[in-house]
Amino acid sequence: MALALILSPLLFAAIAALIPSNGARPILLPIAAAFHLAMTILVVARPDLASWPVLDFGPESWLGIDAPGKLVLFVVSVLFFFCSIYSVGYLRYRKERSNRVFVSCLLVFLSVIGLVAFSRHLGLMWVAIEATTLSTAPLVYFNHSRKSIEATWKYLLVGSVGIALALFGTFFLAYSAEPAGLKPSMMMGDLLGMASSLSKPWLRAAFILLLVGYGTKMGLAPMHTWKPDAYGEAPGLVGAVFAGGVTSVAFLAFLRVYRVCVAAGEGQYVSRVLLAMGLFSMAVAGLFMVGQRDFKRSLAYSSVEHMGILIVGLGIGGPGLYGTMLHIATNGLTKGVLFLSAGNIHRAYASKSTDDVRGAMRRLPLSGALFLAGFLAITGSPPFGPFVSEFSILAGAFDSRLFFVGALFLLFLFVVFLGMGKTVLKVILGRPPAEAMVADGAEAQSAPYRDGLLTVAPVFALMALVLLLGICVPAPLDSLVREAASSLEAGL
């Protein structure tokens, strides 16, 4: 099952590369995604099926899924499923450009996500994370404009250097067993088992390198510089896959490192570093959102902010962990709503600056409303999902007597609400300009955009899920989240 989960998208990617028709190729995406989602649900619901039928996943096996892995895999698979339906509608508007590389890379990405979730070997996990960077770079480059080249270059260089540091950190982590005379290992099981005897200085150095490395991939400040450029220049669909998928997977990788460090008794040190880093990301995101005129860049900074929230939640530990794990789901799905609806608005106006884009509510009533609802949800307004998870993290901060952290957390949420609100309201309200300005040569050739079933229904479904999560967390997801949180708490 696990192997099918990892390998089947690769097979679809190969088929996609071979299909000559530009019109038929995107249909593969929802097929592969539906297949992936079905298998993911099976693996999550019945863990005993994961090893069926070929491999026996003993404790020594490299492949095996842990509780946070299940949660992230499930969330990303759901998000990817809705994005894949949207992509069929989206790519109809982009007939002028070959989507061969685009579709294949999306499917390769889906495959590597499974590999990260199933990696018990930190080296293998690193290989998979680096593969996510490489498979998503061509997605950023889809528009082939000068700006998208610049964004892709920054993403590749910053991402590769960051990931290289994560590899250095992984080596440090394995080497930290050496001073105590133990056999170095990169297996999660071995590392957790000998955690208490790992060398402290090496472990701390490893932790910092891994935080910087995987933090670059998550887009934590100050390593977030690639993010606004990549999210701004890539199609909205790719933004959704990045903000909900790539970042969540990088966070998953970091969670495993966190578990080893906590098991080694470094909880206090780790928590201090994480709180500082997380709050800094929230602050930087807030600062850059105020006065932001490009609404897609504004969404990118929102992603920086929410990665900060995840890291703060992890830093709070204990009572904050449930909210943190839930926030992976609520943030991922809400980012899907925001980027997909923002993509529709961008398409209709051929601009992403609030100088040109006004009155989206009148021109695109559905996408406009979804964009507004997504904004309210992501800034933590009730009754949406992120409110529940952010509130739970905040309550965790006060439970742990971290009053100062709680106060700053609230302050930054407020700044972000104001900053992002101004940009979003400019887009939504007002009277639409008479004729859409054609800003970019590449976009001039394509047909004018109108809201259609394929580009609105998946966004609407995601929004419904976000609302559902705010009203009540369904029992199976709740147990998944609880299981993930308690696995982090125990450090086992």
Partner 1 sequence: MMPDLIDALLVVVLVLNLFALGNSRIQSVIRIVATQGALLGAITLLMHERLTLPVVLAAVAAVVIKGALIPAIMIRSLRAAEIKREVEPFIGFLPSIVLGAVVTAVCLLLAPALSGSGSGPSLVIPASIATVLVGFILLISRYKAISQVLGYLVLENGIYIFSMLLIEAIPLVVEMGMLLDLFVAIFVISIITNHINQAFSSMDTRRLASLKE
Q: Is residue 383 reached through a cis peptide bond, with omega within 30 degrees of 0 on the bond before it? A: yes
The residue (of 172 and 449) whose beta carbon lies closer to partner 1 is 172
- Choosing from 36, 70, 94, 154, the residue that interacts with partner 1 (CB under 8 A) is 154
Point out which span in 71-79, 90-98, 129-137, 244-252 binds partner 1 (CB under 8 A). Answer: 129-137
Angle at which helices 247-263 and 475-490 pack, to 10 degrees? 40
d(CA 94, CA 392): 42
Q: What is the Cα–Cα distance from 360 to 248, expressed in whole angstroms?
A: 30
Span of 19-27, 31-39, 65-73, 163-171 interacting with partner 1 by CB under 8 A: 163-171
Kindly tell me which of 232 and 278 has the beta carbon lying closer to partner 1.
Answer: 232
Q: Write down the least CB distance from residue 165 to partner 1, Å.
A: 8
Burial class (CB within 10 angstroms; exposed 0-12, middle 13-18, buried 19+) of 448: exposed
What would the x/- binding string for partner 1 be over residues 182 to 221, using CB under 8 A? -xxxx-----------------------------------
- State how far the alpha carbon of 94 is from the alpha carbons of 67, 143, 459, in Å: 39, 10, 19
CB of 149 to partner 1, least distance (A): 5
The correct pick among 156, 220, 270, 461 for binding partner 1 (CB under 8 A) is 156
Q: With the CA atoms of 462, 467, 468 and 473 taken in that order, what torsion angle do they form, in degrees rounded to the nearest 10?
A: 110
Find the DSSP H helices in 356-400. Answer: 360-363, 365-378, 385-399
439 binds partner 1 (CB under 8 A): no
Which one among 95, 146, 200, 450 touches partner 1, defined by CB under 8 A? Answer: 146
- Nearer Cβ to partner 1 (154/358): 154
Number of residues that bind partner 1 (CB under 8 A): 45
SS3 180: helix
Q: Which is nearer to partner 1, 172 or 409 (CB)?
A: 172
Beta bridge partners, 187, equal 121
* Interaction of residue 492 with partner 1, rule CB under 8 A: no
Dihedral sign for Cα 263, 268, 274, 279, please: positive
CA distance 287 to 301: 9
Residue whose structure tokens are 């990696």: 119
Cβ at position 229, least distance to partner 1 in Å: 4
222 part of the interface to partner 1, by CB under 8 A: no
Number of neighbouring beta carbons within 10 Å of residue 98: 11
Mask 272-311, x = binds partner 1 (CB under 8 A)? ----------------x---x-------------------
Residues that bind partner 1 (CB under 8 A): 121, 123-124, 126-127, 130-131, 133-134, 137-138, 141, 144, 146-147, 149-154, 156-157, 160-161, 164, 167-168, 171-172, 174-175, 178-179, 181, 183-186, 228-229, 232-233, 288, 292
